[in-house]
Amino acid sequence: MHAKNCLFALLLSTACASALAQWQWIDDNGRKTFSDRPPPAHIPAKNILKSPGGSTAATPAPSASTPSSAPVASVSSDKPVAPAEDKQLQEKLAAQQAAEQAKQKQEEAKAAKQRQENCREAQSALNTLQAGGLIGHVNAQGERGFMSDEERARQQQRAQEVIRKNCG
């Protein structure tokens, strides 16, 4: 949305610049140029499209006393102008998208690695639970004891659920 607003503002400012321009001519590269200053002296009269008062007669270029930093907007008649600011904005957006995609891939790889680890641990636990030997543990009161058959069945079920979620 921000890019659309910037593009709209840029187009609006270009339209305003051309509306205020009193001079129009075709430059050496064949582009239509708009300015509030007369064209350079080397531009032939036939290339001057508009001048103040509607005449197309050539007038001399600004003298040395006239500042050379006069506002000039150049517009190509055959293709739209791609301003550097718009290009920079597009490059920034592309870089942000690339960074987001790289971050997402990194997170996906991390999640896949975690699933593999969970799978391996659950398979190991299930093998231990199915071996049938006594399994010792410490209860909530800190007392040592052995896992009951009901607890063993619950733990086996839990390990199988983890395997289904992470190994398939």
Q: What is the pTM of this model?
A: 0.43
User: Are 47 and 119 within one domain?
Assistant: no
Domain that holds residue 161: 109-168
Judge whether 94 lies within some domain: no
d(CA 131, CA 124): 11
**98 domain residue, yes or no:** no
Q: Are residues 75 and 115 in the same domain?
A: no
The reply to whether 49 falls in a domain is: yes
Here the tokens at position 97 are 């998208």
Whether 56 and 66 have beta carbons less than 8 Å apart is answered as no
Q: What is the pLDDT of residues 50-86, one digit of tens each?
A: 888 765 544 444 444 444 444 444 444 444 545 677 8
Question: Which residue type is seen at 165?
Answer: K
pLDDT in tens, 112-139: 999 999 999 999 999 998 988 888 888 8
Q: Is 122 helix (H, G, I), strand (E, B) or coil?
A: helix
| Domain end among 85, 100, 130 | 85
Element (H, E) at 158: helix 149-166
Rounded distance between C-alpha atoms, residue 129 and residue 23, angstroms: 90
How far apart are the C-alpha atoms of 146 and 66, rounded to whole Å?
A: 98
Average pLDDT in the chain: 78
How far, in Å, are 30, 35, 43, 78, 80 from residue 47 at the CA level?
Answer: 9, 14, 7, 16, 21
Same domain (yes/no): 66, 127: no
Instruction: Judge if 114 and 81 occupy the same domain.
Output: no
Q: Provide the number of structural domains found in the chain.
A: 2
Q: Which of 53, 70, 85 is the last residue of a domain?
A: 85
How far is the C-alpha of 53 from the C-alpha of 149, rounded, in Å?
103
In a domain, 96, yes or no: no
